A and B are shown apart, each in its own frame.
Chain A
Amino acid sequence: MNEFLQQLLNGLALGAIYALIALGYTMVYGVLRFINFAHSDVFMVGAFAAYYISNGLARWLPPESIPGAVIIMLLAMAVCAVLGVVVEKLAYRPLRDRSKLNVLITAIGVSLFLEYSGQLLFGADPKTFRLLPSRNVELGGLVLNSNQLIVFGLTLVLLLALRHIVMKTRIGTAMRAVSFNHQAAALMGINIDSVISFTFALGSALAAAAGILYAMNYPAIEPLMGVMPGLKAFVAAVLGGIGNIPGAAMGGVLLGMVESFVRGSRYSTYADAIAFAILILILLFRPAGLLGKSVVEKV
């Protein structure tokens, strides 16, 4: 029983990180209808940005303290937001009217570019990263890491903030309008380009936060660290119903838990395949995802 709860806890922490990445995929899919393959590398850049910012500001910030961590995290999120907007402007915007396949291939190109220029700039060797001191808390036989608690807390805060932005603000309303219908939204006087830029900024900032949380819970960061979490987060987005924001969060948590249980079982070496097996099953039996609505294609 204890082991079950422990795995559940670990799965929840992993799932929270997947959820944060999945939100970026799902929001971009919502407004542009394409998979932003480079999103997983924005996640990686987020972790590295935090690494370099914390090294660079070490003189001015109190080391391993909460205010310091907050400042570093906000700066890293800003860096990634800018990166997301720039990538969209340079690589995706010129292709907006072209075939989806072209955009997909461009996205793969951007992803490879970020990974390998990361290897050049940051070096391929893994780096250790510490933002806050980590302590283990025992709770009725369960071991809780302080960093895991931060993951839970921060994910919750970010999800609530996102919900507020999407549901209650003008720009959020515009985002929903654009994802509903580009042309109608444009006719209502919504500036499509700025809404798309904003969506990329928002998704990338969340990916940066996820990158930092991931780096806090795993031993090292390296330029290819985004590949697997990125793919799995995408699966999470599809699982919840792509384009659906609560769905992405739910899919992420679900996937994290399943993976954590597989890792804890005899079949741990299959853990990387399980996400894809889930993806295939969900696409076969419920292609619209758990919370998605199926759309009839009109000719």
Chain B
Amino acid sequence: MMNRPKTLLLVALGCCALLPLVGQRMNPYFLYVAYDVAINIILAVSLNLINGYTGQFSLGHAGFMAAGAYTAGVASTQLGPRLLSMMGAEGALAHAGVFLLALLLGGLAAALTGLLVGIPSLRLKGDYLAIVTLGFGEIIRVILQNTPAVGGSRGFSVAMGYTNLFWSFGLAVVTIYFVLTVVHSTYGRGFIAVHDDEVAAEAMGINTTRYKVTAFVTGAFFAGIAGGLYAHSKQFLTPTGFDFIKSIEIVVMVILGGMGNTFGVVLAAILLTLLPEVLRPVAQYRMVLYSLMLIVLMLTCPQGLFARIGSLLKRRFGTGAALEDGRA
């Protein structure tokens, strides 16, 4: 029983390793949409750890993504060539190493930002926390706009387009695996306890602040990884690409999927990445439909579209605990 998730992970990673074979024959447009799907899955699943499982409403995920994207992009562009010439290697493996290092640095930078943001702001609750995280996200954007070393508001070109189907979907699988196993571990029950009732959790001896900061830092780390993938797929970064509309987009994925329902969130991330592409002919109505959907969804089924699917999966596989979110 213990090893089943691990087997699943290995099988999924194996499938991802085969994906580039398909990718070679794919239309580049579809390829980029596929990268976006994977990146959004990572973003939504990691935000779900903060917003869904731990119940801390964060509106600054795009800021963490920006920190990761810029760090990873700068690392591979500036450090990459030097590292490669130092090692004297030019093979695909060496490039993969550089990419992995850049992603890791991006994730760590984002995690550090998450720590800096989390420690002061997690003393706040609900809408205050939302607005402060939003503020932090905007501050990160303004700082990037004013840093000439990364191109300021003109943007920054990333030299290498390392992102491929294996890396993007492989890391998405790793993110899902990580979040699910952590949340369902003994330690991870603490996140859900903080979500359900902070006062009661504290009374039971759970260090709520520590759990909140852990959730924040972990979520930010994966957002940074997603940012790194984004940097190496788009190969061009502008600070305005990480404004709070992007944060709201990620939040909507979490809401639509159902807070604290990883499978639902993954489905929502796929759906909401594909939807704008499908709606391209009526692009001007896209955001209006989007916002209307958000309002109607909140009025009719606040637990998310996929709550039922989540509970079905739960019955079938014993995972994907959908949290009841009827109360504060």
A29 to chain B, nearest CB (A): 9
Report if B8 contacts A (CB, 8 A). Answer: no
Chain A 109-125, CB-CB to B under 8 Å as 1, else 0, gives: 11111011101100000
Once the chains bind, are A113 and B292 in contact (CB under 8 Å)? yes
Report if B130 contacts A (CB, 8 A). Answer: yes
Report if B91 contacts A (CB, 8 A). Answer: no
Once the chains bind, are A277 and B145 in contact (CB under 8 Å)? no
Report if A295 contacts B (CB, 8 A). Answer: no
B42 to chain A, nearest CB (A): 22
Distance of A232 Cα from B127 Cα, bound (Å): 15
Q: Which residues of chain B are near A279, meaning CB under 8 Å?
A: 131-132, 135
Chain A residue nearest to B200 (CB atoms) is A299
Which residues in window 162-205 of A have CB below 8 A to B?
none
Report if A283 contacts B (CB, 8 A). Answer: yes
Once the chains bind, are A116 and B291 in contact (CB under 8 Å)? yes
Once the chains bind, are A280 and B136 in contact (CB under 8 Å)? yes
Report if A3 contacts B (CB, 8 A). Answer: no
Report if A102 contacts B (CB, 8 A). Answer: yes
* CB contact between B288 and one of A105, A113, A273 (< 8 Å): that residue: A113
Once the chains bind, are A101 and B57 in contact (CB under 8 Å)? yes
A123 to chain B, nearest CB (A): 10
Q: Which residues of chain B are near A100, meaning CB under 8 Å?
A: 126-127, 328
Q: Which residues of chain B are near A287, meaning CB under 8 Å?
A: 123-124, 128
Chain A residue nearest to B128 (CB atoms) is A283
Report if B79 contacts A (CB, 8 A). Answer: no
Q: Which residues of chain A are near B128, meaning CB under 8 Å?
A: 238, 283, 287
Best-buried of B123, B130, B325 by chain A (most CB within 10 Å): B130
Chain B 120-159, CB-CB to A under 8 Å as 1, else 0, gives: 1101101110111011101100110110000000000000
Report if B28 contacts A (CB, 8 A). Answer: no
Which residues in window 100-152 of A have CB below 8 A to B?
100-102, 104-106, 108-113, 115-117, 119-120
Which residues in window 170-224 of B have CB below 8 A to A?
199
Whether A105 touches B287, Cβ cut-off 8 Å, given contacts A34-B127, A276-B136, is no
Once the chains bind, are A105 and B294 in contact (CB under 8 Å)? yes
Could you count the A-B residue pairs with CB atoms below 8 Å apart for me: how many are there?
A: 113
Distance of A94 Cα from B298 Cα, bound (Å): 10
Once the chains bind, are B302 and A35 in contact (CB under 8 Å)? no
Q: Which residues of chain A are near B290, meaning CB under 8 Å?
A: 112, 116
Mostly, the B contact residues are helix
Q: Which residues of chain A are near B127, meaning CB under 8 Å?
A: 34-35, 100, 104
Report if B285 contacts A (CB, 8 A). Answer: yes
Distance of A277 Cα from B290 Cα, bound (Å): 31
B152 to chain A, nearest CB (A): 9
A7 to chain B, nearest CB (A): 21
A188 to chain B, nearest CB (A): 26
Which residues in window 306-320 of B have CB below 8 A to A?
none
Once the chains bind, are A283 and B124 in contact (CB under 8 Å)? yes
Chain A 244-282, CB-CB to B under 8 Å as 1, else 0, gives: 000000000000000000000000011011011101100
Report if B299 contacts A (CB, 8 A). Answer: yes
| 18 extra interface residue pairs, beta carbon distance < 8 Å, beyond A102-B302, A113-B292, A119-B284 | A35-B127, A94-B299, A100-B126, A101-B57, A104-B130, A106-B295, A109-B292, A109-B298, A111-B291, A116-B290, A231-B131, A273-B139, A273-B142, A276-B135, A276-B138, A279-B135, A283-B132, A287-B128
Q: List 5 A-B contacts (CB under 8 A).
A: A95-B298, A99-B327, A106-B294, A109-B291, A269-B142
Q: Which A residues are within 8 Å of any B CB, using their own CB?
A: 34-35, 91, 94-95, 98-102, 104-106, 108-113, 115-117, 119-120, 231, 234-235, 238, 269-270, 272-273, 275-277, 279-280, 283-284, 287, 299
